[in-house]
Each structure stands twice: as structure tokens, then as C-alpha cells.
């Protein structure tokens, strides 16, 4: 059993809390994190990053003990200190889900995906909340959601760089998705890829799809593991009637995330234009298992079934 340390430094208290947490002694861990928070606050330095981690750690202890209300409070403080932290977002989402506050849970899971769309827990949570909210609120459930926050590009860059520099973290995030043989890009490559992707997005908004394709292609040379770049380019390929290329991009995206809604829908659109109706129906059926009330998918399925 881990022993409490005599030293009252917050780093020692945090480490002791971590040891208790690992052995399932969540009450003791929470108490040590509380002491660590007091030590940091007493020091007068109040480092936001350190405090954010401590509040998030204590929130994890509360969540494990079933104290969801305090978990929500601590995660909220953690996110106020350092906005868009993945761990406090996921922990607060889980607490909201346990409290049956499904709309708020959806927003937190979805926000985590906006920061990094390769997080299996966020993908699974978003899918679960979609099904629950469809049952509770009906087809118009999205209209009843609180607004989703806008995630700054700098936050997504920082998360991508952290993932690229930590193979262990990257491997952990692949759990629940198909493994990819693509090597993790460097920090510089990730930054270039994101900038080029944003340029591509700007061309899409102007309706200049061929120019957007060029930017997305350049982006993928720097970072071939970014799912949304594939799905964005697939949309452009469909717009310029290059349907086989769209299918290939969706294949790449689904190789990284087998339940990606955009990739399934856009591949279904491309299959429809290629008159591969059975493949189109299969993709739409997969999509509807994740989002049963997806109106666009339901309409496309109905249209394709009439042609079969």
C-alpha cells in the first residue's frame, strides 16, 4: 500500500495521490490532490497548468467514487484554468452522462473531438449520446443542444504536436480504431499540414474545389493521418465528379476511424454516382447504426433503394 509522504510539497502530494489512485483508493487520492491544490494556492504562484492537472486528477477520483457532481465542478475549474483540456472534457462528459444530462455530455464529447478527432472515448461517447438524444428529443435533437464552442487552431495544433511527440499517447488513442501504418508526423509537419488544410477550407467556402484539392493534397503530404483532410478532399472530389478518388479518400479516413460519419456518407454519395448501389446501401446502413436519425443518410438511402 502506498504511504503518505512527510514532505508537504505539492509535487510529492500529487505523486502520492497518483499512487493511491492506481491502487483504487480514490478517497485517499482525492484528499491528497486537495492538499496539493492548497499548497499550490498558498505558494502564491498559482501555475494554471499545474492547478488544472490537480483539479482534473481530483475529478477523476470523484468520478471513480461515483461523486459525479463534484467531478463536474472540478473539471469546470480545470477547463477554466486551461481551456479545451482533453482529460477534463472527457471526465466531465462521463459525469454528465452518469447524471443523465445528455445534452451537456454530448457537447463535451464533441468538443473533445473538435480538439482531436482520433480519440476513441470521444467518438464512442458522441455516438452514445447521439442515440440517446435521438430517442429523448426526436429528429430535431440537435436544435436543443447548447452551442458548441469554437476550438482555436492553436489548440488543435498543440494537441496534434503533443500526439506526434508521444508515440505511447498516439498508440493509446488508436485503441478502438483501426491501426495505421502511417508514421507519426513531426511537430513542424503537423503545423504545416494544419495551415494548408485551413487554406483548403477557405477555398471550399469560395466554391473553388480544385484549388482546395491541391491544398488538401499538400497538407496530406505533411500529415497523412488527419481524417478530416481526407473527408474534406473527398467532398471536393465529389463536387468535381471524381468519384473514384472520393472513394479512395473515404477508404483512408475509415481506415483511421471505422465509424466516421462524414467518410461513410461521402463514400455512399460517390458509390451512388458510380452506380454501385449495393456498396452505397451498405455504407448508409453502417452510418445509420451510429446515427439512426441522420436525415441526409435516410433520404439518400430511400433514393438509392428506389433505383435498385
Q: What is the pLDDT of residues 126-147, one digit of tens each?
A: 888 998 899 888 888 989 999 9
Chain mean pLDDT for the chain: 85
Is residue 71 within 8 A of residue 50, CB to CB? The reply is no
Q: What is the pLDDT of residues 206-247, one digit of tens each?
A: 999 999 999 999 999 988 888 889 999 999 999 999 999 999
Asked whether residue 179 carries a pLDDT value surpassing 60, the answer given is no
By residue range, what is the domain housing residue 21?
10-144
- Tell me the C-alpha distance between 208 and 213, whole Å: 9
What's the average model confidence in pLDDT over 62-79? Answer: 92
Higher pLDDT, 22 or 81: 81
Nearest to 187 by CA among 173, 175, 170, 211: 170
CATH number at residue 14: 1.25.40.10
Q: Quick one: cell of 288?
A: 445509420
In sequence order, which residues have a C-beta less than 8 Å from that of residue 187 and are 6 or more positions away? Answer: 161, 164, 165
Cα distance from N-terminal residue to C-terminal residue, the chain: 66
In terms of C-beta density within 10 A (0-12 exposed, 13-18 middle, 19 or more buried), how is residue 65 classed?
Answer: middle
Same domain, yes or no, for 94 and 212? no
Q: What is the DSSP letter of 117?
A: T
Is residue 287 within 8 A of residue 293, CB to CB? The reply is no
Same domain, yes or no, for 128 and 231? no
- What's the whole-model pTM score? 0.55
In sequence order, which residues have a C-beta less than 8 Å from that of residue 286 and are 6 or more positions away? Answer: 259, 264
What's the average model confidence in pLDDT over 54-58? Answer: 96
Same domain, yes or no, for 241 and 291? yes
pLDDT band at residue 120 under the 50/70/90 scheme = confident
- Tell me the C-alpha distance between 26 and 62, whole Å: 7
- Tell me the C-alpha distance between 282 and 38, whole Å: 56
Sign of CA dihedral 254, 127, 165, 171: negative
Nearest to 264 by CA among 277, 279, 276: 279
pLDDT band at residue 82 under the 50/70/90 scheme = very high
Last residue of one domain, picked from the residues 144, 174, 208 = 144
Same domain, yes or no, for 59 and 182? no
Number of domains in the chain: 2
Higher pLDDT, 9 or 7: 9
- Which helix or strand (DSSP H or E) is residue 176 part of? none
Q: What is the pLDDT of residue 209?
A: 95
Is 283 contained in some domain? yes
Amino acid at each position: 500500500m502506498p504511504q503518505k509522504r512527510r514532505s508537504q510539497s505539492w509535487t510529492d502530494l500529487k505523486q502520492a495521490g497518483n499512487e493511491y489512485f492506481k491502487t483504487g483508493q480514490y478517497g485517499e487520492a482525492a484528499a491528497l490532490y486537495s492538499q496539493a491544490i492548497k499548497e499550490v494556492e498558498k505558494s502564491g504562484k498559482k501555475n494554471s497548468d499545474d492547478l488544472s492537472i490537480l483539479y482534473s486528477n481530483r475529478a477523476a477520483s470523484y468520478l471513480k467514487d461515483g461523486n459525479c457532481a463534484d467531478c463536474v465542478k472540478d473539471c469546470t475549474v480545470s477547463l477554466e484554468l486551461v481551456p479545451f483540456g482533453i482529460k477534463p472534457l472527457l471526465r466531465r462528459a462521463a459525469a454528465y452522462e452518469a447524471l443523465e444530462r445528455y445534452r451537456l455530455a454530448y457537447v463535451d464529447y464533441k468538443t473533445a473531438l473538435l480538439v482531436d478527432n482520433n480519440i476513441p472515448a470521444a467518438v464512442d461517447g458522441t455516438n452514445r449520446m447521439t442515440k440517446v438524444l435521438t430517442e429523448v428529443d426526436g429528429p430535431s435533437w440537435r436544435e436543443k443542444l447548447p452551442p458548441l464552442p469554437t476550438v482555436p487552431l492553436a489548440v488543435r495544433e498543440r494537441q496534434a504536436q503533443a500526439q506526434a511527440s508521444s508515440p505511447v499517447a498516439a498508440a493509446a488513442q488508436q485503441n478502438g480504431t483501426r491501426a495505421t501504418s502511417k508514421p507519426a508526423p513531426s511537430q513542424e509537419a503537423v503545423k504545416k499540414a494544419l495551415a494548408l488544410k485551413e487554406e483548403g477550407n477557405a477555398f471550399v467556402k469560395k466554391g473553388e474545389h480544385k484549388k482546395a484539392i491541391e491544398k488538401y493534397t499538400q497538407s496530406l503530404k505533411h500529415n497523412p493521418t488527419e481524417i478530416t483532410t481526407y473527408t474534406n478532399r473527398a467532398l471536393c472530389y465529389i463536387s468535381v465528379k471524381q468519384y473514384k478518388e472520393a472513394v479512395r479518400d473515404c477508404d483512408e479516413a475509415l481506415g483511421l476511424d471505422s465509424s466516421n460519419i462524414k467518410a461513410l456518407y461521402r463514400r455512399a454519395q460517390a458509390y451512388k454516382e458510380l452506380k454501385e448501389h449495393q456498396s452505397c446501401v451498405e455504407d448508409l446502413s453502417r452510418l445509420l447504426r451510429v446515427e439512426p436519425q441522420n436525415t441526409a443518410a435516410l433520404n439518400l438511402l430511400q433514393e438509392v433503394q428506389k433505383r435498385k
